[in-house]
């Protein structure tokens, strides 16, 4: 089962992908937010993705951040298109990605990798 991890931002969207066994996440690409639904759908078809994992962004009080409204809309649209969606709670994934490596064009993809790997680890079948 192959997964796509998504670090959704208002300008850019970081993407990560797992290998076929769904054990390891890898940075995949960063896409502009423009036409996000179409771009994510196309990637899922090309890469044979079984499930999409979006980062669920909350503040320290546990309330959803402003970007959550956009995430909720795109996940509903993707579900209507037949894709399986899950949310993975993420806190400071972009900051963690920038701690691992200096901020660059791949930072959002690394953040998506952190989100996806967290989901894969939490859902491992032993």
| Boundaries of domain holding 8 | 3-122
Q: Tokens 């959550």 map to which residue?
A: 68
pLDDT value for 66:
83
Question: 77 falls in which pLDDT band (50, 70, 90)?
Answer: very high
Q: What is the domain count for the chain? A: 1
Sorting pLDDT into bands at 50, 70 and 90, what band is 13?
very high
Neighbour tally for 19: CB within 10 Å: 11
Residues 113, 121: Cα–Cα separation, whole Å: 12
Q: What is the CA radius of gyration of the chain?
A: 13
Output the domain CATH number for residue 75: 3.30.420.140
pTM above 0.85, yes or no: yes
Report whether pLDDT(83) > 60.
yes
Which of 120, 114, 112, 113 lies closest to 13 in space, CA to CA? Answer: 112
Predicted confidence (pLDDT) at residue 96 exceeds the cutoff of 80: no
Model confidence pLDDT, tens digit, residues 52-75? 999 988 777 778 788 888 999 999
CA distances from 50 to 34, 54, 65, 74 (A): 23, 13, 27, 17
Q: Which residue has tokens 């996940």?
A: 75
Q: What is the DSSP letter of 61?
A: T
């Amino acid at each position: 089962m192959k997964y796509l991890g998504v670090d959704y931002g208002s300008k850019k969207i970081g993407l990560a992908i797992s290998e076929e066994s769904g054990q390891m996440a890898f940075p995949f690409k960063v896409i502009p937010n423009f036409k996000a639904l179409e771009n994510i759908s196309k990637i899922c078809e090309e890469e044979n993705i079984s499930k999409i994992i979006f980062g669920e962004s909350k503040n320290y009080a546990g309330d959803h951040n402003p970007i959550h409204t956009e995430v909720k809309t795109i996940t509903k649209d993707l579900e209507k298109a037949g894709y399986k969606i899950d949310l993975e709670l993420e806190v400071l994934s972009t900051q963690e990605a920038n701690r691992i490596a200096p901020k660059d064009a791949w930072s959002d993809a690394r953040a998506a990798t952190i989100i996806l790997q967290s989901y894969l680890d939490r859902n491992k079948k032993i």
